[in-house]
Structure 1
């Protein structure tokens, strides 16, 4: 899977974002390790801010509903932020169920990929881990 394909899928999903409160549209795309299928999601805001769904979680839910399980091979998140935006803490915690510490996480803005992290760099100690 090329990162350009993930970027294209995330950009397309971002166009469908529902962000009337923040105006901050986000798209995400992930590739399943098992099927090599790309799943995308966009943020869907709500007047009750806690009910908002981020793009990354939307992509995960879509993948789970289609495959019944998930192991993420790679994730890309795109926003219009100049420095690009990494997944929020809630999304990282959800993703910790499906990513390895070495899963690449690409963050992009509308011009392209800005930075690449490993999942472990973004969330070194998930809630379900006990540090040694």
Structure 2
């Protein structure tokens, strides 16, 4: 982990959402006012389950990659490799997952886009066979 250097503090183990992750993640909530922003750190191989950010209007999520190497994938599309400085705009109603590469720690800021009647739906885990195809 010596090469892994994040600009925000890692935060504690993400126990509140652990059932929606394969592997260990850490969460440091940076803002709970105006716009919710969390610094999410993933150990190598850790990823969250497929999920959907629902909203009547607005909503969705923005990821700002701050450290390490990871992946983002939308349902039915190829995974996208992520590096520090990458930005992912995730519209509401898009099923997706994100997490660390198998051999790298990974951190991103997760920004909840304000909207009306927003809620998250957690779905199935990313299967090992899907994940093992990543480089």
Higher normalized strand content (fraction of residues) = 2
TM-score normalized by the length of structure 1: 0.33
Higher relative contact order (CA 8 A, sep 6+): 2
